[in-house]
Amino acid sequence: MNINDFVSRYKNHPVLFVGTGVSLRYLENSYTWDNLLKTVAFELKGNNDFYLDIKAESENSGKYDYTKVAALLEEEFNKKLENDRNGKFKYVNDIFYENMEKEIKISRLKIYLSKMLSSYKIRESMSDEVAELKKTRKNVGSIITTNYDTFIESCFGFNPLIGNDILLSNPYGSVYKVHGCITQPEKIIIVGMQLAQLHTPGCFPPTKTFRGAGVQDNACSIKR
């Protein structure tokens, strides 16, 4: 059963949760959280050694705390750019200082991520499936996503709600961007404390999970 058939059977329009798997499935330039951080670290240092060091530092009982990895990477990224004003990331520093002139402080790493993910290309092999995905719009109430990119709101034509807007706006026909969005880098969330502050019980309605390959309804997995 495809997603269009699945959501159309509900009398009330469901709320979908859309995770990283959707971007990975449909977009050429998409990343897992691990690969995104690793790519940034490589661009910063020119090799993978630094990333592997901070990843090792963030290991506990065989599991990796990627919010800690992100915090360590952000600290190093911001420090390196501060000490290299006109280097490889000059354009990031330009944006940083333009905002500071207006007394708006935005992490240099968040600025970089917003530029890195600002454009996307749909996989040619997935164009027909994306067309089918767009048809579900009329049967979906709203969407919750952790993705930074703008693919899902562009696909559905929904209004993105970011940061405090989530609590102040009409949810119908909206995309809750719970980890922020590249269009507002100052609201991108990448570290553990920020995530803990955001995930307040009761803020969001119950959801159906759409991971790209199909929809998961409780324990039932419905594939294409």
Cβ 48 vs Cβ 169: under 8 Å: no
- Give the confidence band of 168 by pLDDT, cuts at 50, 70, 90: low
Domain stop point among 88, 116, 144: 116
Q: Are residues 38 and 107 in the same domain?
A: yes
CA distance 86 to 68: 28
Cβ 58 vs Cβ 159: under 8 Å: no
Q: Is 32 or 166 the better-scoring residue by pLDDT?
A: 32
Number of domains, the chain: 2
pLDDT at residue 43 is higher than 90: yes
**Residues 6 or more apart in contact with residue 209 via CB below 8 angstroms:** 16, 17, 19, 215, 216
Q: What is the pLDDT of residue 223?
A: 31
Q: Identify the three-state secondary structure at position 5.
A: helix
Q: What is the pLDDT of residue 92?
A: 98
Question: Both tokens of residue 149?
Answer: 């990119």
Q: What is the pLDDT of residue 3?
A: 60
Q: Are residues 172 and 133 in the same domain?
A: yes
The least confident of 38-42, 92-96, 132-136, 188-192 is: 188-192
Q: Are residues 142 and 171 in the same domain?
A: yes
Q: What is the pLDDT of residue 218?
A: 33
Bridge partners of 214?
A: 223
Q: Are residues 101 and 133 in the same domain?
A: no
* Model confidence pTM above 0.85: no
- 74's torsion region: left (phi>0), alpha (psi -120 to 50) or beta? alpha
Q: Are residues 105 and 141 in the same domain?
A: no
DSSP H or E run through 108 = helix 108-116
Domain span at 74 = 33-116
Q: Are residues 88 and 133 in the same domain?
A: no
pLDDT at residue 5 is higher than 90: no
Q: Are residues 81 and 12 in the same domain?
A: no
pLDDT at residue 140 is higher than 60: yes
How many CB atoms within 10 Å of residue 48? 13
CA distance 30 to 117: 8
Q: Are residues 174 and 206 in the same domain?
A: yes
> Which residue carries 């910063």 as its tokens?
44
Bridge partners of 222?
A: 215
Q: What percent of the chain has pLDDT over 90?
A: 71
The least confident of 93-107, 127-141, 197-211 is: 197-211
How many CB atoms within 10 Å of residue 187? 18
Cβ 44 vs Cβ 80: under 8 Å: yes
Angle made by CA atoms 28, 35, 128, in degrees to the nearest 5: 20
State residue 15 phi and psi, 5-degree precision.
-100, 125
Q: What is the pLDDT of residue 213?
A: 39
Q: Are residues 130 and 26 in the same domain?
A: yes
> Which residue carries 């969005």 as its tokens?
181
pLDDT tens profile 62-85: 999 999 999 999 999 999 999 999
Q: Is 195 or 42 the better-scoring residue by pLDDT?
A: 42
pLDDT at residue 220 is higher than 50: no
Q: Are residues 51 and 111 in the same domain?
A: yes
The top-scoring range by mean pLDDT among 71-75, 188-192, 201-205 is 71-75
